[in-house]
Structures are given as C-alpha cells and as structure tokens.
Structure 1
Amino acid sequence: MKSSRLEAFSDGVLAILITIMVLEMKVPTGGALHDLEKVYPIFLSYILSFLYLGIYWNNHHHLFQATKYVNGKVLWANLHLLFWLSLIPFTSGWVGRTNFSAVPEALYGVVLLMSAIAYFILQSLILKIHGENSILNKAIGKDYKGKISLVLYAVAIPLSFVSQWISISIYIGVALLWVVPDKRIEKILYKEIKKNQKEESNKEIDNVS
C-alpha cells in the first residue's frame, strides 16, 4: 500500500488539533494590557504545544518522504501516534488554566512521552518493512535524539512534583532539540536522486553511442 492517504489523513488531524488549541484561548473581556494576564499561561502552553505538533508534523513528513509502502501494522501504529497527539490540546489547556500546576504538568509530560514512544514504534515498523539496506535505515541511523528525548521526558515527569519550572524547562529543551528540522533523510534522498540521475545520464550516453 502507498502512504499518500495515511499522510493526508495525518496532516488533517494535526491541523484540526492546532485549531482546537487556538479556539481554547478565550479573548479577554477588557481592553487593557493587564487583562492579558489572565490568559498568558494558556498562551504560553499553546506556544509550546504548537511547537510540539509542528515538530511531529515535520518529522512525520520527512519519515514518509523515504517510505515507499506501508502495511496494516503501520496504519495502526500511525493511529496510535495520532491518539496520543490528540490529547495534547486537552493537557495543554489544563496546564495553562492551572498556571503550570504539578499534576497537569506531569500528565502533559506523560502525553509527550507516550507520543514519542508511539512515533518510535511507527518508525521501527516502517524500518522493518524496508529492510536494513534501505535509504530510510541509513538516514535514521542510531536515532540518538529520539532516545535522549525519551529519557528527558521520563526525568521531567516526576520532577513536576518537585519543581514545575525545571520540568517545563526540560519540555522546552526537548522541543528546542527538535525545532531544527532533521535533515538526515533529506540528505540521503538527495544523494540517491543525484546517483539515479547520474546513472540515467550514463545510460543515455551509452544508448547514443
């Protein structure tokens, strides 16, 4: 099966999630700057969550750039990922409305951790289909950033009950770790395209000769 419908569906879901989050921010009734004080925690949590959804959209796009085909397991793994991502608006809103309280922040971390695990499962299943010598496997390599992120989430969750600001700083740190697009797949694909173009050019020259 081709991955085009899976990508289109996933893009639609992520767009809806971002829309839900922005609709959760209520417009202040007053016209003074101090009226914004009531909504700034929600706005801050919105920025972080928007960033995370953007990162997942970006990486999901890069992942499926190098994915030639999918199977039923990949479809379910993708739905599993979307399930956890769909909880981000809820936990993000709770964190903002409670001014970054311990329990909401810990739950936010759990959702981020489970989303990362779900993405890892999806990626692993795709790698299994394409084999060890595939372009995707060469591009992803050891995936140190992904593994480090899992560890940081696991550390940040219990830290929410010790210091909410240290915990949220870790969530921000992980987001910044991923905010620069991962160009490993793009580089490998670019090399393969150049290689194929060179081979086709050589064939044309041989045919002319």
Structure 2
Amino acid sequence: RQVNGSTLWANLHLLFWLSLFPFVTAWMGENHFAALPVALYGVVLLLAAIAYFTLTRTLVSHHGQDSTLANALGRNFKGKSSVLIYAVTIPLAFAIPWLACALYVLVAVLWLIPDRRIEKALNS
C-alpha cells in the first residue's frame, strides 16, 4: 500500500541485476554453454535472487511482521531455495555446465508454478 526510500533502493538493486540478464544470456549462448559463462549467469541469477529477497524483507520491515504481506510471504520457501540452488550451481558450472543449466531451469519451473498466497491474503 505504501513504500519508503529503502524499498525504492531495494527495488533499484533488483532492477540492476535483472538488467544484466540479456548480456550474460547472450554470452552463454555465443560460447555454447561453456563453464565460465554458465557460472557468470549463475552469479547474476544469485545476485538477483538476493536482491529479490532483500526487497521482500524491506517491504515486510516497512509494513510490519503482522501485515498482510508478511503473512502472505510466510517462510518464503521459493526465495530461500532459489538462493541456495544458485549458490550451489556456480561452482558446479565449472565441473558440469549442463547440470548447472538444468538446475537454473528447475528454479524457473519452481517460479512458474502459481503461488496464490498473496492473492488469498489480500482477498481475506
């Protein structure tokens, strides 16, 4: 319902990391999924996931632990598991790049599954 300066900065932080996706994606494709580009893609994914987590924590902090948003986010399983998987894939990319890419796809599929918690919390 409202934002503050910290929320705006957290949002800009997320947008910065999201803006790097076209570059690392192109580099990964041009180099046929070589280890270094796949690892750097994972770094950008990890930093974007951390920025998203930071944004959600900033919003919850601003609105309070008992707010509708805090209740809707709950334990934030998707956010925390994404950070963990991305952290594992970066070193993995140097050993088995295709497996790192498969884990990137796994996280994407995880986020494609609709999460109705926020919708339910706002409608109740």
**What is the TM-score normalised by the length of structure 1?**
0.58
The match for 1:120 is 53
1:145 aligns with 2:78: yes
CA displacement at 1:144 relative to structure 2: 1.3
CA deviations on 1:94-136 (whole Å, 9 max, x unpaired) are 0011110100000000000000000111110110011111100
Which has the bigger relative contact order, CA under 8 A and spacing at least 6? 2
1:160 aligns with 2:120: no
Gaps of at least 5 residues in structure 2 are none
Question: How many equivalent residue pairs?
Answer: 124
Instruction: Give the 5 Å matches for 1:64-75.
Output: 68-75=1-8
The percent identity for this pair of structures is 54
Amino acid at match of 1:132: Q
Alpha-carbon distance between aligned partners in 2 of 1:147 and 1:180, rounded to the nearest angstrom: 16
The match for 1:63 is none
Gaps of at least 5 residues in structure 1 are 1-67, 192-209
Alpha-carbon distance between aligned partners in 1 of 2:75 and 2:113, rounded to the nearest angstrom: 18
Alpha-carbon distance between aligned partners in 1 of 2:87 and 2:78, rounded to the nearest angstrom: 14
For the pair shown, the structure with the greater C-alpha radius of gyration is 1
CA deviations on 1:159-202 (whole Å, 9 max, x unpaired) are 111111111000000101111122110011111xxxxxxxxxxx
**What is the TM-score normalised by the length of structure 2?**
0.98
